[in-house]
A and B are shown apart, each in its own frame.
Chain A
Amino acid sequence: MDNDKIDRIINKHRGKAGSLVQVLMEIQEENHWLPREVLEKVGEKLDVPLSRVLRIATMYKTFSLTPKGRHEIHICTGSACHVRGARRVLETVQDLTGIKPGETDSDSRFSLETVNCQGCCALGPVVAIDGKTHGRISPDEIADALKKYD
């Protein structure tokens, strides 16, 4: 965790309760998860009660209150990807990583999430790993692709 960067983000919005979501998003982007102490600090500096910070942080799927793995896998299970075989891709990834959507494996290599649309249905089934999009992917191909991430 890079405390300086987090402090800088918080200080930029000091005292502005309305910037809560913005601050949490920036920290999430930087740190990939929101530790309890950071949430407490955000509440203190932005003058927002901790109960509200927690309400917002647990409300949105963007925010993670648990540590994420080094690589974040987002598998689209929207209707277009679903009919193009997203479920078999998801099952393959689950078998290979040993984790279910929402979980992180024990050596913090992968975190798995399902999403409902990535905005490029023509490329389905779509899997995004660390923001890089893998389109028209088959279960075999995703197994190969995962090997490249350490």
Chain B
Amino acid sequence: MSEITLQIDGREVAARKGMTVLEAAKKAGISIPTLCHHEKLEPYGGCRLCTVEVEERGRTKMVAACLYPVEKDLVVKTRTEKVDRIRKMILELLLAHAPDAFELQDLALEYGADRDRFEKESSFCLHCGLCVRYCAEVKKKNAIGFINCGTRREISFIPEIASKECWNCKECFPLCPTEALQAAFVLTKALVFPSPLSELKG
């Protein structure tokens, strides 16, 4: 275990090699906002809300803290003007999809994001991938996945698997920041699950 020190927001922080900037910051009690991050899951880097500014050999760049590995003498800044501007923009874009998502409200307040900046396109899914990854990585059932491409991308339960596995699990439900997942499940259930009646007859 090689300990290294880096600087986050002007404080010297000790971290183990292989940790991410997010983990190091958390250990030191510095909070970085996240949406798609979950302790049990592999880092995803999907929401970019954890964007921070790192300085390395005199150059600064914007990176996702949940993916960026710590390095010796790295200088990290979690609240610069540029970081705040990026987070505000991300929040405004996400709010166009899910204007009333609880997790977004506090963040929007903190970063001054205007929920009406962009025309509403309420899909309610933020594409954080928490449900998809939780089902694949923790439960290893793969009952839900992403389908389609680009603007048409959405989550979709796989009816063949979901009708067997989901009844007694539903562990992904509380993970969803917007409840789009629950809606997708109800829809799948209504459309394609075998109904109790047809099973009785069958």
Q: Per DSSP, are chain B's interface residues mostly helix, strand or loop, or mixed?
A: mixed
When distances are taken between beta carbons in the complex, the residues of chain B under 8 Å from A52 are: 142, 145
Q: What is the minimal beta-carbon distance from A46 to any residue of chain B, in angstroms?
A: 14
Q: How far, in angstroms, from A40 to B159 measured CA to CA in the complex?
A: 12
Is the pair A51, B148 in contact by a Cβ cutoff of 8 Å? no
Cβ 8 A contact of A50, one of B132, B149, B158: B158
Q: Is the CB of A54 within 8 A of B158?
A: yes
Decide yes or no whether A132 CB sits under 8 A from chain B. no
Chain A residues, Cβ within 8 Å of B135: 51
Bound: A101/B177 CA distance, A: 36
A49 at the interface (CB under 8 A from B): yes
Q: Which of A7-15, A55-63, A82-90, A139-147 makes up part of the contact surface?
A: A55-63
Closest chain-B Cβ to A34's Cβ sits at a distance in Å of 13
Chain B interfacial residues counted at CB < 8 A: 15
CA distance A59 to B161 in the complex (A): 20
Q: Are A58 and B160 in contact (CB under 8 A)?
A: no
Give complex CA distance A59, B152 in Å: 10
CB of B154, distance to nearest CB on chain A (Å): 10
Does B144 count as interface, using CB distance less than 8 angstroms?
yes
Q: Is the CB of A51 within 8 A of B149?
A: no
Tell me whether B118 is interfacial, beta carbon within 8 Å: no
Q: Which residues of A contact B144 (CB under 8 A)?
A: 51
Is A54 a contact partner of B160 (Cβ separation < 8 A)? no
B136 within 8 A of A: yes
Decide yes or no whether B143 CB sits under 8 A from chain A.
yes
Q: Is the CB of A51 within 8 A of B142?
A: yes
What are the 4 closest A-B residue pairs judged by CB atoms, nearest first?
Answer: A51-B145, A49-B142, A58-B147, A51-B142
21 contacts between A and B (CB under 8 A): A49-B136, A49-B142, A50-B145, A50-B158, A51-B132, A51-B135, A51-B136, A51-B142, A51-B143, A51-B158, A51-B161, A52-B142, A52-B145, A54-B145, A54-B147, A54-B158, A58-B147, A58-B149, A59-B147, A59-B148, A60-B149
B residues touching A (Cβ–Cβ < 8 Å)?
A: 132, 135-136, 142-149, 156, 158, 160-161
